[in-house]
Amino acid sequence: MRTPGRRVRAAVVALAVALQALVAAALELDRMQRLDDATRTPPPASAPGWHEVALPDAAPGPSGDRSTQAFWYRASFEGPAQDASPDGGWAVYLPYLYDGGQVWLNGALIGEVSESSAGRRVRWERPHLFRLPPSLLRSGAPNELTVRAAASPERAIRRFPRVQVGALQALLPAYDRRLFWVRTMPQVTALVCALSAGFVLLIWWRRRSEVLYGLFGVAAALWGVRTLTFVIEALPADQWPVWRMVYLAATGGFIVVLALFAMQLARVERPWVRRALLAYWLLGPLCVVLSPASEPMVNRVWSAGLIPIGLGALAVAIRTVFVQRTVASAVLPAAMLLAVAAGVHDYFVSWSPVASPTLWRGWFEQRIFLLHHAANLLLVAMGGLLTARFVHAMDALEDLNHTLESRVAERERRIAADFERMAELQRQNAATEARQAIMRDIHDGLGSRLFTSLSRVERGDMSEAQIAEVLRACIADMRIALDALAPEDGDFRTALGNFLFRWQGQLEELHFQPSWRIDVPEGAAPALQSPQATLQLLRIAQEALTNVAKHARPGRVRVALRQVGDALTLEVEDEGPRSPPRPPADPPTGRGIDNMRARARQLGGTLVLQDDARGTRVRLHLPAQPGAAPVSPSAEVGPSA
């Protein structure tokens, strides 16, 4: 059984072990010995040329005709105590090893990163973590760590980072964090840029006038390609110059398109500036195509010229803020400022001849490139700006639709009111025309006949029987007019029924046998929709029946009215032969048939009269589309014969 004193001592020992492990986990090698030697195995410690350098180390790149050259780094560190070895063992962490190399522990190879060769080119951006085998690690004793850092002859400056040695669990967070920012994040960026570029360019393809969408789509596509430099880490040697040319074209193209975007947004029309930007864009990739060996110099000098272009685009964006004076217009220059600052930062990180400048010592040593992260924010700002413009356009369109709807509704109300007024005027005009027609009908028909009869009565030329016959004819004509023009009916079938009812009795009194065949459906033919047309048709029928009553021998009288489609046919037929005419009420004038034909022409129809020994047939045909308006009573020039 443990006593309290023993428990306290055990806790103190455990705490000391933990502290010792923590101290061991934080081991960082900031000074190592360096030797310029291209051998594939670690040079011995006695080899001449070893000298101590501070890490991180930066020096001019290798020279000569060899495809690669190596630099060896060596240092000693004390391994963990036997009872303080952490779970998972120890490891060595290198934030970068751009051209590959090897890691040796106590003379044994424990890890290797592929180097460039005659047929393969590499450019490793990812960090490297190598586990130290427990069998090679000396507990509580000095251990020798040797690293071979390869360097490509095209690299102007070769670099070597600070090396961290310690517990694997303590080094994993730093490794995972750097791997995410320099490897995983570019992969996500390339994918998102490809999807965004495809979507936005499709919109621009359908709406060519939206130039900003096209520029944004091109910028996203170019930056997605440029970001692949952190994704594509190994290529065949013959494809490497092509890829570097594509990389330079994507980098410069993004900056140039960004400047064009800012100019388009600010509505700056400078064609010569656009041409100059496009010419400078093509200059760098063209030099690499013509002379692949000039790629490092082009990358250094030509890329520096992109910084003034970015500053110019920033100035144009700031000018837009002062012109528009909106919060949305300030988003783009703020993001561009970050992007330009990140671009300057990355340029110095890439081309600074010293490993750790005084001003940026702590951060500069990490060699984290910021431009591809700032460019992501810039693309988000550009996309947000376009989204805000789209939302603003949709809001304006919605307001316009509401305005148009209200205007259309107001115009519809005005048009409806105008139509109502026109309909009222048409009704008033129709009533006026109807009254005028009735007045003309009375004046030319009844008035003329009564005036003529009155003149004869005053001269003593008419007997009482003749006067009675004239009055009966006038009353019949008036009844037809009243039936056809009665406003409370307005139905052709009603007027026709009243007409047939009266003539049924009159013909039977004269010993005729009338036969009626009416085949007109509900809603008479279009030719008879007008009351005036109905009046003229009934007057033609009356004239025909009057002639039958005056001139035909008593017998069968057939009256047929048929409608086929919109056409209408009226037939009045007697059996004949004609009897000697009765004493006429008026002296014969022979105007009855002429009046019937005149009425038929005014209705747009034709009148055919057939008279032979078998009888007389009067046939009126009204086509589907009558050619003239209903007859005016003024066509009647006198009483019928």
* pLDDT tens sequence across 32-85: 999 988 888 999 988 898 999 998 888 776 655 444 478 999 999 988 876 555
Q: What is the DSSP letter of 630?
A: P
Query: Who contacts 132 (Cβ-Cβ below 8 Å, separation ≥6)?
Result: 89, 90, 91, 92, 105, 110, 165
In the three-class reduction of DSSP (H, G, I as helix; E, B as strand; rest coil), residue 235 is classed as strand
Q: Would the CATH topology of 4-179 be identical to that of 462-635?
A: no
Q: Give the pLDDT band (50/70/90) at residue 514.
A: confident
185 compared with 466, residue with greater pLDDT: 185
Contact assessment for residue 599 and residue 533, using Cβ atoms and an 8 Å cutoff: no
Domain assignments of the chain as residue spans, ordered by start? 4-179, 184-401, 462-635
Q: Give residue 529's pLDDT.
A: 64
Q: Give the pLDDT band (50/70/90) at residue 292.
A: confident
Here the tokens at position 295 are 């790629």
Q: Give the pLDDT band (50/70/90) at residue 132.
A: very high
Q: Give the pLDDT band (50/70/90) at residue 636.
A: very low
Does the model's pTM come out above 0.75?
Answer: no
Q: Give residue 176's pLDDT.
A: 94
Q: Give residue 175's pLDDT.
A: 94
What is the CATH number assigned to the segment(s) 462-635? 3.30.565.10
- 165 phi, psi to nearest 5 deg: -125, 135
Going from the C-alpha of 392 to that of each of 205, 322, 328, 384, the distances in angstroms are: 21, 20, 11, 12
Whether the per-residue pLDDT at 584 is higher than 50: the answer is no
Q: Give residue 14's pLDDT.
A: 46
Q: Give residue 193's pLDDT.
A: 93
Long-range contact pairs involving 324-333 (C-beta distance under 8 Å, separation at least 24): 328/385, 328/388, 331/381, 331/384, 331/385, 332/262, 332/265, 332/381, 332/382, 332/385
Measured at the alpha carbon of residue 265, what is the angle toward residues 261 and 271, in degrees to the nearest 5? 65
171 compared with 358, residue with greater pLDDT: 171
Q: Give residue 641's pLDDT.
A: 32
Contact assessment for residue 576 and residue 552, using Cβ atoms and an 8 Å cutoff: yes
Q: Give residue 103's pLDDT.
A: 96
Range 184-401 has CATH code 1.10.8: no
What is the mean pLDDT of the segment spanning 167-175?
A: 92
Whether the per-residue pLDDT at 615 is higher than 70: the answer is yes
- 59 phi, psi to nearest 5 deg: -155, 160
Whether the per-residue pLDDT at 278 is higher than 80: the answer is yes
Q: Give residue 384's pLDDT.
A: 86
333 compared with 295, residue with greater pLDDT: 333
Q: Give the pLDDT band (50/70/90) at residue 129.
A: very high
Whether the per-residue pLDDT at 123 is higher than 70: the answer is yes
The C-alpha torsion from 194 through 199 and 203 to 204, rounded to 10°, is 0
Quickly list H helices, 207-293. 211-227, 240-266, 271-290
Lowest mean pLDDT: which of 12-16, 455-459, 582-586, 636-640? Answer: 636-640
What is the mean pLDDT of the segment spanning 279-306?
A: 84
CATH class of 4-179: mainly beta
What is the mean pLDDT of the segment spanning 488-517?
A: 76
- 137 phi, psi to nearest 5 deg: -85, 125
Going from the C-alpha of 322 to that of each of 263, 328, 353, 584, the distances in angstroms are: 14, 12, 40, 106
What is the mean pLDDT of the segment spanning 431-455?
A: 66
Percent of the chain with pLDDT strictly greater than 70: 80
